[in-house]
């Protein structure tokens, strides 16, 4: 009997303790309901501040600066580029305060030759943020040769381009995702020393780049979200060539031009930063494809070329009839968001 009484007493004590704990918790949650709301409000406000235009970038729209590429020897070239803040109209009446190279997003195409020594200078015109250059076309110690250049300063580096191909370049400053997604990317073409086997057959060449846009400078969206726009641009191989930014409309309003029977060469690269490209030209077959632009990586008769983020290729095809030939990523959710261009073929 005494043992039963002790058990009952213990249960009563436990129940009273649980009740008191529940009451205390309930009272705590009710006594200052504004505390929770205030915390949420502060968090929301912080997020808005994080995603807003950086104060030092307010009102800045730096004019594009032409890239400088100067050959100073048979196997030596000087390249000078800028890092800067420039507004890019990625959709009609929708500007993005892009972090760019030379005021373009994607940046200008750089063309060098296999075996070239590149003397590279980066001028950082950004008043607030350090930037850098990561060339996929070279082999170098990243901590030394891809080092940050501080705001309003410049850095000079030297690289050897000893492999041919179509290579991505991008800002390598942390967080790398933010710098790429905000617009700091482009293509370097390293021309093969002995050329491509099909050089004599090619009539027209174009550089086609795919990239994604997310909510402005929003790392959460860049990490976890879906891109708002997936777009194509055409970048000039030579002065005066077609040169557009990564927009949803440029290559639809101003299609590439070709004639029946032309053999077309596209230097294609997918900037990402997150999505894969399934590059496809509607109405033709890619007769010759060089993966990553290296002549050793030769494939034939391809309908679609899979390009991972940063992946490149040289693709060649012949247009056999007059008409309009779209080129897209065959991931059509992305094509619908803008990754589509046109080629007009005339007699």
Structure tokens of 258? 């070709």
Q: What is the pLDDT of residues 266-312, one digit of tens each?
A: 999 999 999 999 999 999 999 999 999 999 999 999 999 999 999 99
Cα→Cα distances 122→68, 99, 125, 132, 285, Å: 11, 14, 9, 8, 40
Give the pLDDT score at 153: 98
Residue 314 in tokens: 């040289």
Structure tokens at 15: 């129940």
pLDDT digits (tens, 9 = 90+) for 299-347: 999 999 999 999 999 999 999 999 999 999 999 999 999 999 999 999 9
Tokens at 166, concatenated: 């179509």
> Which tokens belong to 313?
């290729």
Say what the pLDDT of residue 131 is: 98
User: Residue 41's pLDDT is what?
Assistant: 38
**What pLDDT is attached to residue 51?**
55
pLDDT tier at 86 (50, 70, 90 boundaries)?
A: very high
- Who wins on pLDDT, 118 or 4? 118
- Please report, to the nearest 10 degrees, the dihedral formed by the alpha carbons of residues 65, 258, 194, 192 taken in order: 40
Q: Pick the residue with more confidence: 245 or 26?
A: 245
Span 149-207, pLDDT tens digits? 999 999 999 999 999 999 999 999 999 999 999 999 999 999 999 999 999 999 999 99
The answer on pLDDT for 38 being more than 80 is no
Q: Average pLDDT in the 210-224 region?
A: 97
How far lies 131's CA from each of 56, 83, 150, 189, 212, in Å? 15, 7, 7, 22, 20
Chain Cα centroid distance, residue 123: 20
CB 94 within 8 A of CB 246: no
Mean predicted confidence (pLDDT) in 57-76 = 97
The phi, psi pair for 51, rounded to 5°, reads -90, -10
What is the predicted pLDDT for the residue at 52? Answer: 77
Q: What totals of helices (H) and strands (E) does the chain contain, helices first?
A: 7, 20
Residues shown for the chain: 347
Q: Which residues of 271-291 are buried (b: 16+ CB within 10 A; e: fewer)?
A: bbbebbbbbbbebbebbbbbb
Lowest mean pLDDT among 6-20, 50-64, 136-150: 6-20
Contact 126, 83 (CB under 8 A): yes
Give the dihedral sign, CA 274/106/232/116: negative
């Amino acid at each position: 009997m005494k043992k039963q009484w002790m058990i009952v007493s213990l249960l009563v004590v436990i129940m009273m303790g649980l009740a008191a704990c529940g009451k205390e918790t309930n009272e705590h949650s009710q006594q200052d309901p504004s505390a929770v709301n205030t915390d949420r409000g502060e968090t929301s406000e912080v997020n808005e501040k994080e995603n807003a235009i950086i104060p030092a970038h307010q009102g800045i729209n730096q004019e594009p600066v032409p890239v400088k590429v100067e050959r100073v020897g048979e196997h030596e070239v000087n390249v000078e580029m800028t890092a800067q803040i420039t507004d890019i109209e990625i959709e009609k009446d929708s500007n993005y305060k892009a972090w760019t190279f030379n005021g373009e997003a994607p940046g200008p195409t750089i063309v060098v030759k296999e075996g070239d020594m590149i003397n590279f200078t980066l001028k950082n015109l950004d008043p607030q943020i350090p930037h850098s250059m990561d060339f996929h076309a070279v082999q170098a110690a990243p901590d030394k040769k891809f080092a940050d250049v501080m705001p309003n300063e410049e850095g000079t580096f030297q690289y050897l381009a000893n492999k041919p191909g179509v290579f991505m370049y991008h800002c390598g400053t942390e967080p790398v995702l933010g710098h790429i997604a905000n617009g700091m990317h482009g293509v370097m073409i390293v021309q093969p020393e002995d050329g491509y086997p099909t050089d004599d057959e090619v009539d027209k060449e174009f550089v086609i780049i795919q990239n994604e846009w997310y909510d402005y400078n929003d790392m959460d969206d860049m990490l976890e979200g879906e891109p708002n726009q997936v777009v194509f641009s055409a970048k000039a191989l030579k002065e005066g060539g077609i040169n557009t930014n990564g927009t949803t409309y440029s290559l639809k309003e101003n299609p590439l031009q070709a004639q029946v029977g032309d053999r077309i060469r596209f230097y294609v690269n997918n900037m990402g930063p997150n999505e894969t490209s399934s590059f496809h030209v509607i109405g033709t077959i890619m007769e010759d494809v060089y993966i990553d632009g290296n002549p050793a990586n030769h494939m034939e008769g391809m309908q679609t070329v899979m390009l991972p983020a940063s992946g490149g290729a040289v693709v060649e095809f012949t247009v056999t009839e007059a008409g309009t030939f779209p080129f897209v990523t065959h991931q059509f959710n992305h094509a619908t968001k803008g990754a589509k261009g046109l080629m007009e073929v005339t007699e």
